[in-house]
Amino acid sequence: MLVDQYNPFEGKMLQILDPDGNVIEEKLLPEIPEDELVRLFKIMLFTRVVDRKALMYQRQGRMLTYAPNEGQEACQIGSAYALEQRDWMAPAFRELGAWLTRGVDLKTLYLYWYGNEMGSKVSEDIRILPVSIPISSQLLHAVGLGYAAKVRGLDEVSIAYFGDGGTSEGDFHEAMNLAGVYKTPTIFLCQNNQWSISVPKHFQTASETFAQKAYAYGFKGIKVDGNDIFAMYAATKEAVDRARAGEGPTLIEAYTYRLGAHTTSDDPTRYRDDAEVEAWREKDPVKRFRIYLEKRGLWNQEMEKAFVAEKEEEVEKVFSDIEQNGGTVFDDIFMYQYAEMTPILREQYAEWKAFFQERGML
């Protein structure tokens, strides 16, 4: 098992595809059909297009605060690809690749960053919880989702996404502890992107790795090259399979890097060296996956050019549609506080509505 082979206490990190696109662990390479490989790469490219466009819209004053994703595509897409449709995902807020892999439509995603709750209403067949801003609080939800699946005898696992800084929160410990105690089918996916806004890893923990923390709660953890889509898929797939088999939770530390800012309001040049960023650019997950596919003859420059152009146009269309129709419907802000509006809400709804109606704002 990978979790045993790559024991974090032995300083090991799972890597299958190196930064230059070479497969260094042939026997660990997951068996993925060629068309699926291309599909995964397209998702990766699409993720990057969507991300860069969002950043651009924000700088144009068309989009509100946005959390750039660049650099973390492989750990998100590789892990999400290991899940089944029926499995549950509890995200933090920088999981663009996972969302797109699991089929969330772009309009919904953009609506969220555009500032409309409708962006959290994923369709019924997609099991992703809304963005959870309070750090690590969603880990407990994943444990609860897993516990319910277990009690109800459902073949479902849950995965929680969070960052390196998230491991410092109490809820991280409570969630890990509870998952350990109840052996819930839960995968804790820590995207260690090296920085919690401006605070580096050594101010978050004195542990050598984040992965090793799992052992304190009575289950296993593994450190994985988060920019290697194959390693991420393999490790997650193994954790998912073990969870389905009743072997309980796993902590995966995806060792990666946020190439951009924390959010559009952040300026990372204030706290980190350009040299560090450049070094990580060399380990870019898209680059190495592209080289691998090109080597296998599954991808080339023309394909990429055409694909990106097509997607840019698509994104542009979706976003201009949102700009046209993405405003919040007044009724919605009252409608979903409770299943049924309480008497006082009904009264306030009428009062506020009349106010805005009188001014022609509705």
Partner 1 sequence: MPVFNNIQALNYALMQEMEKDPSIVVFGEDVGYEGGVFRATVDLQAKFGVERCFDTPISESGIVGMAVGMAINGLKPVVELQFCGFTYPAFNQIISHVSRMRNRSRGRYTLPMVIRFPFGGGIRALEHHSESPEALFAHIPGLKVVAPSTPYDTKGLLLAALRDPDPVIFMEPKRIYRAFKQEVPEDDYVIEIGKANIVKEGEDLTIVTWGAMVRDTLKAVEKANEKGIHPEVIDLRTIAPMDRETIIKSVKKTGRILIVQEAVKSFSVASEIIALVNEKAFLHLEAPPARVTAPDIIVPLPRGEQFYMPHPDMIYEKINEVVNFLT
Of positions 117, 247, 294, 314, contacts partner 1 by CB under 8 A: 117
Contact indicator for 90, 141 with CB cutoff of 8 Å: yes
Contact indicator for 3, 221 with CB cutoff of 8 Å: yes
Please tell me the distance from the alpha carbon of residue 152 to that of residue 258, in angstroms, as a whole number. Answer: 38
Of positions 12, 107, 141, 201, contacts partner 1 by CB under 8 A: 141
- Which residue in 76, 85, 155, 152 sits closest to 124, CA to CA? 85
Please tell me the distance from the alpha carbon of residue 166 to that of residue 177, in angstroms, as a whole number. Answer: 15
Least distance to partner 1, CB of residue 339, Å: 4
Which residues pair with residue 222 across a beta bridge? Answer: 252
Work out whether 144 is an interface residue with partner 1 (CB under 8 A).
yes
Catalytic position from the list 94, 262, 288, 290:
262
Structure token digits, residue 348: 């306030």
- Tell me the DSSP string of 182-240: HT-SEEEEEEE-SEETTEEGGGT-SSS-STTHHHHTTSEEEEEETT-HHHHHHHHHHHH
Work out whether 7 is an interface residue with partner 1 (CB under 8 A).
no
Please tell me the distance from the alpha carbon of residue 7 to that of residue 259, in angstroms, as a whole number. Answer: 28
Least distance to partner 1, CB of residue 178, Å: 5
Taken as a whole, the chain contains a residue count of 362
- With respect to partner 1, which residue has the nearer C-beta, 89 or 239? 89
Clarify whether 57 is annotated catalytic: no
Of positions 175, 214, 222, 293, contacts partner 1 by CB under 8 A: 175
Site residues (CB under 8 A) for partner 1, limited to 74-103: 88, 90
**Exposed, middle or buried by CB within 10 Å (0-12, 13-18, 19+), for 283?**
buried
- With respect to partner 1, which residue has the nearer C-beta, 87 or 253? 87
103 DSSP 8-state letter:
T
Residue with tokens 């060629």: 34
Site residues (CB under 8 A) for partner 1, limited to 198-257: none
Clarify whether 173 is annotated catalytic: no
Of positions 28, 29, 38, 148, contacts partner 1 by CB under 8 A: 148
Q: How many residues bind partner 1 (CB under 8 A)?
A: 47
Work out whether 132 is an interface residue with partner 1 (CB under 8 A).
yes
The SS3 of residue 244 is: helix
- Kindly provide the b/e burial profile for residues 32-54, where b requires at least 16 CB atoms within 10 angstroms of the residue's own CB: eeeeebbebbbbbbbbbbbbbbb
Of positions 13, 129, 291, 303, contacts partner 1 by CB under 8 A: 129
Clarify whether 242 is annotated catalytic: no
The span from the first CA to the last CA of the chain, in angstroms, equals 59
Least distance to partner 1, CB of residue 278, Å: 38
Catalytic position from the list 59, 271, 296, 336:
271
Among 7-15, 36-44, 171-179, 245-253, which window interacts with partner 1 (CB under 8 A)? 171-179
Least distance to partner 1, CB of residue 236, Å: 19
Catalytic position from the list 102, 258, 288, 290:
258
Least distance to partner 1, CB of residue 347, Å: 9
Site residues (CB under 8 A) for partner 1, limited to 324-343: 332, 335-339, 342-343
Active-site annotation, residues? 258, 262, 271
Q: Which residues bind partner 1 (CB under 8 A)?
A: 88, 90, 117-118, 120-122, 124, 129-130, 132-134, 137, 139-149, 151-152, 154, 156, 158, 170-171, 174-175, 177-178, 181, 332, 335-339, 342-345
